[in-house]
A and B are shown apart, each in its own frame.
Chain A
Amino acid sequence: DVKVTQSSRYLVKRTGEKVFLECVQDMDHENMFWYRQDPGLGLRLIYFSYDVKMKEKGDIPEGYSVSREKKERFSLILESASTNQTSMYLCASSSHIAGLKTQYFGPGTRLLVL
């Protein structure tokens, strides 16, 4: 069974704080993803990593950065949180092998920025 875990289910932060969201997968997947989900907008990709220390911008990278120091862990960083970053954040992972690229998701982190 694929397991993707996220460090927090709920998080409340203040404007200007630095926020770290952690994601860990136990399937030795090469690919890891961070999405945010907002009502009416569906899921939008923030960043994607295809290997340790490698990253690619997704559709909405502004205001975010990421870190992938170990294969199993992918961190999303909000350098200075703002109220418009209040959202549900979802992490996913997948293999890079053709035919096995199905993405598996974690439980999500609901972030509220006050």
Chain B
Amino acid sequence: AQKVTQAQTEISVVEKEDVTLDCVYETRDTTYYLFWYKQPPSGELVFLIRRNSFDEQNEISGRYSWNFQKSTSSFNFTITASQVVDSAVYFCALRGNAGNMLTFGGGTRLMVKP
């Protein structure tokens, strides 16, 4: 069985602070895919990133960066110099190699205050 845990249900920061959202996963698959989605107040889930299990290189996209560590089964997401527009619920998700279905974490609500 697969499981994704986002232990932080809510985080509140002040604009320009850096913030890290944690994601820990469990799977028996040797090949799998990890995802992050953003859900702004409008409701739509916006795809942010996908990583393969065999690619542990960290990724940076503007103010966003992701740290994938297989040894600790974690795929953490950092926002540098946070902005009010970053306020949203962020979901981490996992998909096994052969399957089509995603297993989602419970989500982390990020509030960035001006």
Given contacts A101-B33, A105-B45, contact A42 B100 (CB under 8 A): no
Given contacts A43-B91, A108-B43, contact A103 B105 (CB under 8 A): no
Q: Which residues of B contact A58 (CB under 8 A)?
A: 101
Q: Are A96 and B45 in contact (CB under 8 A)?
A: no
A58 and B100 alpha carbons, distance in the complex (Å): 11
Q: Which residues of A contact B44 (CB under 8 A)?
A: 105-108
Q: Which residues of B contact A33 (CB under 8 A)?
A: 101
Q: Which residues of B contact A40 (CB under 8 A)?
A: 9, 106
Nearest to B37 among chain A residues (CB) is A105
- Most B CB atoms within 10 A — which of A48, A58, A101, A107? A101
From residue B68, how far is it (CB to closest CB) to chain A in Å?
Answer: 16
A31 and B42 alpha carbons, distance in the complex (Å): 24
Near A by CB (< 8 A), chain B positions 91-108 give 91, 95, 100-102, 104-107
Q: Are B47 and A104 in contact (CB under 8 A)?
A: yes
Q: Are B100 and A96 in contact (CB under 8 A)?
A: yes
**Interface residue count for B (Cβ, 8 Å)?**
20
The A interface, classified by DSSP as helix, strand, loop or mixed, is: strand
Q: Are A42 and B104 in contact (CB under 8 A)?
A: yes
Q: Are A42 and B102 in contact (CB under 8 A)?
A: no
Nearest to B109 among chain A residues (CB) is A39
Is B16 an interface position by the 8 A CB rule?
A: no
Q: Are A94 and B100 in contact (CB under 8 A)?
A: yes
Given contacts A42-B91, A42-B106, contact A101 B42 (CB under 8 A): no
A110 and B35 alpha carbons, distance in the complex (Å): 24
A53 and B40 alpha carbons, distance in the complex (Å): 33
A interface list, Cβ under 8 A from B? 9, 31, 33, 40-43, 45, 48, 50, 58, 88, 90, 92, 94, 96, 101-108, 110
Q: What would 5 more interface pairs be, CB under 8 Å, given A42-B104, A42-B107, A48-B101?
A: A9-B43, A41-B106, A102-B50, A108-B43, A110-B43
